[in-house]
């Protein structure tokens, strides 16, 4: 079912020794990001798991703004990867400065600050279920041409195949170690959400919003604040404000 190009990508990404320029010890997801960056080409790439509740953990990201791109979307709860997963279609923003600021009032300016000028998000999906997103960014504005768009779609198809392959390997009810690592990186966010829900007597959705608002207003990452909540350095009172 996979096209020849997708098979070639899988072969390149899933074998360790093919490309000497790859860092030793880098995993399949790091290689996918590196090779997508070189092949499309773009400035950098990231792959994240997605759940109906939002960002499910970053599988890999190239150095520099790509990691910031994933963290911002996680912290803010908005951005192209969340839109792509929710709408189950690619989100293409060729000029973030010109049109991304109103599209994503929180993510847009912060992404521009991080050095991102254009961003392209491709859902990793089977049927009605979005499992993740491949995010590509450029440090200069400009859209993908037809060939580049096709190449990006092929990398997204390869990424979906790898996800399924890893899950098939792990078996039902379990997670492959690569995927477990990504979800475990969010452990404190889930725990903090539960804690805030009990502290402020609100539902889990509102608890996550409180956590997010605190992170945003203190210019901190969601994960950092969540760790402080778990360590009981930051607490939330029932009347919706918080103490430190």
Q: Which stretch binds another protein (CB under 8 A): 18-26, 113-121, 146-154, 167-175?
A: 167-175
How far, in Å, CA of 66 to CA of 37, rounded? 11
User: Quick one: which of 222, 231, 134 has its CA closest to 186?
Assistant: 222
Residue 24 or residue 238: which is nearer to another protein going by CB? 238
Token pair of 82 as six digits: 């969340």
Question: Number of residues in contact with another protein, rule: CB under 8 A?
Answer: 39
Q: Give residues with Cβ within 8 angstroms of 43, minimum separation 6.
A: 37, 64, 65, 137, 138, 139, 140
Kindly state the smallest distance separating residue 229's Cβ from another protein, in Å: 8
How many residues would you count in the chain? 244
Q: Applying CB under 8 A, which of residues 9, 193, 215, 223 lies at the interface with another protein?
A: 193
User: Quick one: which of 132, 136, 131 has its CA closest to 117?
Assistant: 136
Residues 27-86 that bind another protein (CB under 8 A): 49, 51-53, 56
Kindly state the smallest distance separating residue 226's Cβ from another protein, in Å: 9
- Compute φ and ψ for 69, nearest 5 degrees: -60, -45
How far, in Å, CA of 4 to CA of 231, rounded? 50
Residues 104-143 that bind another protein (CB under 8 A): 126-129, 131
Q: Applying CB under 8 A, which of residues 139, 148, 167, 221 lies at the interface with another protein?
A: 167
- Compute φ and ψ for 128, nearest 5 degrees: -90, 0
Unique residue bearing structure tokens 């392959």 = 165
Residue 103 or residue 190: which is nearer to another protein going by CB? 190
Residue 39 C-beta-side C-alpha neighbours within 13 Å: 21
Q: Applying CB under 8 A, which of residues 204, 213, 233, 237 lies at the interface with another protein?
A: 204
Residue 51 or residue 148: which is nearer to another protein going by CB? 51
Residue 116 or residue 163: which is nearer to another protein going by CB? 163
Kindly state the smallest distance separating residue 166's Cβ from another protein, in Å: 8
The answer to the question of residue 224 lying near another protein (CB under 8 A) is no
User: Quick one: which of 111, 117, 123 has its CA closest to 138?
Assistant: 117
Give the Cβ contact number of residue 103 at 10 Å. 15
Kindly state the smallest distance separating residue 193's Cβ from another protein, in Å: 5
Q: Applying CB under 8 A, which of residues 87, 184, 240, 241 lies at the interface with another protein?
A: 184
Unique residue bearing structure tokens 């994933």 = 70
H or E element: which one contains 33? helix 28-39
Binding stretches for another protein (CB under 8 A): 1, 49, 51-53, 56, 126-129, 131, 163-164, 167-168, 170, 172-175, 179-180, 183-184, 186-187, 189-199, 204, 230
């Amino acid at each position: 079912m996979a096209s020849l190009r997708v098979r070639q990508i899988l072969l390149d990404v899933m074998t360790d020794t093919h490309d000497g320029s790859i860092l030793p010890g880098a995993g399949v997801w790091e290689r996918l990001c590196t090779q997508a960056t070189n092949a499309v080409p773009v400035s950098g790439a990231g792959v994240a798991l997605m759940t109906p509740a939002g960002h499910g953990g970053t599988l890999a990201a190239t150095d520099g703004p790509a990691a910031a791109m994933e963290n911002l979307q996680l912290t803010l709860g908005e951005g192209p990867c969340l839109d792509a997963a929710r709408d189950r279609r690619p989100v293409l923003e060729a000029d973030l400065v010109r049109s991304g600021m109103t599209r994503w009032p929180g993510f847009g300016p912060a992404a521009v600050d991080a050095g991102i000028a254009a961003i392209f998000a491709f859902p990793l999906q089977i049927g009605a279920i979005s499992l993740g997103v491949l995010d590509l960014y450029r440090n200069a504005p400009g859209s993908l041409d037809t060939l580049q768009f096709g190449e990006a779609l092929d990398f997204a198809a390869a990424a979906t195949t790898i996800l399924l392959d890893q899950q098939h390997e792990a078996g039902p009810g379990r997670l492959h170690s690569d995927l477990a690592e990504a979800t475990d990186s969010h452990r404190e966010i889930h725990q903090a959400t539960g804690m805030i829900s009990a502290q402020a007597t609100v539902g889990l959705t509102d608890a996550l919003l409180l956590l997010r608002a605190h992170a945003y207003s203190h210019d901190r990452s969601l994960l950092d604040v969540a760790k402080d909540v778990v360590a009981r350095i930051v607490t939330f009172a029932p009347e919706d404000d918080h103490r430190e």
